[in-house]
Chain A
Amino acid sequence: MFDFSIITNWIHEQLISFMPTGLAVFVECVAIGICIMLMYAVLAIIMIFMERKVCAAFQCRLGPMRVGPYGTIQVFADVFKMLIKEIITINHADKFLYNLAPYIVILASIMSFSCLPINKGLEVLDFNVGIFFMLAASSIGIVGILLAGWSSNNKYSLIGAMRSGAQMISYELSIGLSILTIVVLTDTLQLSEIVERQADGWFLFKGHIPAFIAFVIYLIAGNAEVNRGPFDLPEAESELTAGYHTEYSGMHFGLFYVAEFVNLFIIAGIAATIFLGGWMPLHIPGLDGFNQAMDYIPGFVWFFAKAFFIVWLLMWFKWTFPRLRIDQILTLEWKYLVPIGLVNLLLMVIIVVFKLHF
């Protein structure tokens, strides 16, 4: 596997050869910030375009076709449209909290986004408590959503935000439990280390049945966590206009929209990292020629391929199942997924302790 830290180290050496170390570190920090921003924006645009095209395909439509070849410039036009819309703050809103909410939502999204191990040596935040930090960072987003709904002083927003809060905190448990199942198998929390352990087989295949159950639970809970698909009742557009961001206009709304789509990618990225081996290529024991051919494909291609496969899977979910009610959502989580998750965790511990895994 190609290690990208060679390139980053080379850049670092080039920089300190003609400027003091402090300045070099500063330049690198600015470069990292710009890279994150560009990646974030580009991913959001790709995700929105993909969503529209995939939805269209599932409904036997064409999707956007007019703007540019096959509608490829449509999303850029949408971004521009959002920029030239007036930002309105309503009279009775709590102005400070109303303006603070997009910052918190984007902050949570970017903090967990920069943890994703895209390639060997290409992860920005690679803490030794990586996956735990990621869970913590992504749950800050709930605070932003609750603030947005509460400060708007609008009944639709308030109901949407409350539903969203109840749903997201509930499903976070299942995400935590299914990630815990894999952590028991790896005995590390560092994301790059988790990927390295999957060199001889992805955890989905290595972890017996518990890993597979955890994967299914993770997909369901992840879908609920980003308020999509059958769990999109926080912004059920036929009942609540737009849910918690009803009162946001123009770019304010755009930021919530972008964060929602990148959060979907982050959920898919975590699934790809801990279950499907991150940037590790597909290796089949015994087929050496096949394995070597797979090694030639760069790591980030593998990562994005796996992540977008899961994104596509979640979009398929969205267009297959009808929307659930709030009581059904909470019943599904507390009476089915949490008990199954706990039993599954225990099963995985028994497998690990008695060394029954591959």
Chain B
Amino acid sequence: MYFTLLIVVILTAIVLVAVALGLAGVISPRSFNAQKGEAYECGIPTRGNSWMQFKVGYYLFAILFLMFDVETVFLFPWAVVVQDLGVYGLFSILFFLIILVLGLAYAWKKGALEWK
């Protein structure tokens, strides 16, 4: 039943966008002008391609995020049962968190968190 509902929700989203865009396509005006297809930048014709190499700092944070997001994924099942596990659960996750915090401290010390 939940799977059916999930499909219904996904279809709803697609239909909503399609209907909105279709309606706009039907009632909106159409006119051709060669200038319309140009990129909206400063008024003068754009120079060079925008698909180029980009600052590496963003990717560095993405890699850091990956580490901590996977950590969160591991923590969720543990968080559900920690009340039953008690002190055992507390200590077992303590080691996990210490390793992660060491990782963050290492990245911090290496200057990965500085924006240069």
Contact, CB under 8 Å: A165 / B14: no
Contact, CB under 8 Å: A184 / B113: no
Interface of B is mostly: helix
Contact, CB under 8 Å: B69 / A173: yes
**Interchain CA distance A141-B72 in the complex, whole Å:** 19
A125, A172, A254, A345: the one contacting B2 at CB < 8 Å is A125
Please encode chain B, from 15 to 28, with 1 for each CB lying within 8 Å of some chain A CB and 0 for all others.
11100110111011
Known: A107-B14, A251-B21. A84 touches B65 (CB 8 A): no
B108 is an interface residue with CB less than 8 A from chain A: yes
Contact, CB under 8 Å: A335 / B30: no
A33, A154, A330, A350: the one contacting B12 at CB < 8 Å is A33
Most buried by B among A172, A334, A352: A334
A residues in contact with B8, CB < 8 Å: 29, 32-33
Rounded to whole Å, the gap between the CB of A355 and the closest CB of chain B is: 9
Interface size class of A (residues with CB under 8 A): 35 or more
Please encode chain B, from 24 to 62, with 1 for each CB lying within 8 Å of some chain A CB and 0 for all others.
110111110000111111000010011100110110011
**Interchain CA distance A340-B16 in the complex, whole Å:** 40
Contact, CB under 8 Å: B97 / A169: no
A residues in contact with B76, CB < 8 Å: 132, 180, 183, 189
Interface of A is mostly: helix
**Interchain CA distance A325-B12 in the complex, whole Å:** 37
Contact, CB under 8 Å: B54 / A162: yes
B residues in contact with A322, CB < 8 Å: none
B101 is an interface residue with CB less than 8 A from chain A: yes
A residues in contact with B6, CB < 8 Å: 111, 125
B residues in contact with A57, CB < 8 Å: none
Rounded to whole Å, the gap between the CB of A323 and the closest CB of chain B is: 16
A residues in contact with B80, CB < 8 Å: 183, 187-189
Known: A173-B65, A241-B40. A252 touches B115 (CB 8 A): no
B5, B23, B69, B84: the one contacting A176 at CB < 8 Å is B69
Rounded to whole Å, the gap between the CB of A108 and the closest CB of chain B is: 8
Rounded to whole Å, the gap between the CB of B116 and the closest CB of chain A is: 9
B residues in contact with A350, CB < 8 Å: 90
Contact, CB under 8 Å: B16 / A106: yes
B residues in contact with A173, CB < 8 Å: 65, 68-69, 72
Rounded to whole Å, the gap between the CB of B74 and the closest CB of chain A is: 11
A267 is an interface residue with CB less than 8 A from chain B: no
Rounded to whole Å, the gap between the CB of B9 and the closest CB of chain A is: 5
**Within A70-92, which residues are at the interface with B (CB < 8 Å)?**
82-92
Known: A83-B28, A251-B20. A180 touches B14 (CB 8 A): no
A residues in contact with B113, CB < 8 Å: 330-331, 334-335
Rounded to whole Å, the gap between the CB of A331 and the closest CB of chain B is: 7
A residues in contact with B115, CB < 8 Å: 326-327, 330-331
**Within A148-184, which residues are at the interface with B (CB < 8 Å)?**
150, 152-158, 162, 165-166, 169-170, 172-173, 176-177, 180, 183-184
Rounded to whole Å, the gap between the CB of A166 and the closest CB of chain B is: 5
**Within A186-218, which residues are at the interface with B (CB < 8 Å)?**
187-189
Contact, CB under 8 Å: B51 / A84: no
A residues in contact with B51, CB < 8 Å: 150, 153
Rounded to whole Å, the gap between the CB of A259 and the closest CB of chain B is: 10
Contact, CB under 8 Å: B28 / A86: yes
A305 is an interface residue with CB less than 8 A from chain B: no
Contact, CB under 8 Å: B72 / A36: no
B99 is an interface residue with CB less than 8 A from chain A: no
**Interchain CA distance A29-B5 in the complex, whole Å:** 7
22 contacts between A and B (CB under 8 A): A32-B5, A33-B11, A89-B37, A90-B37, A103-B17, A109-B13, A110-B12, A125-B2, A125-B6, A125-B9, A153-B39, A154-B39, A158-B54, A169-B61, A170-B61, A173-B65, A177-B72, A183-B76, A327-B114, A335-B113, A339-B104, A346-B94
Return the 8 tightest CB-CB contacts between A and B, nearest first. Answer: A327-B115, A91-B37, A251-B24, A110-B13, A176-B72, A33-B12, A107-B13, A183-B79
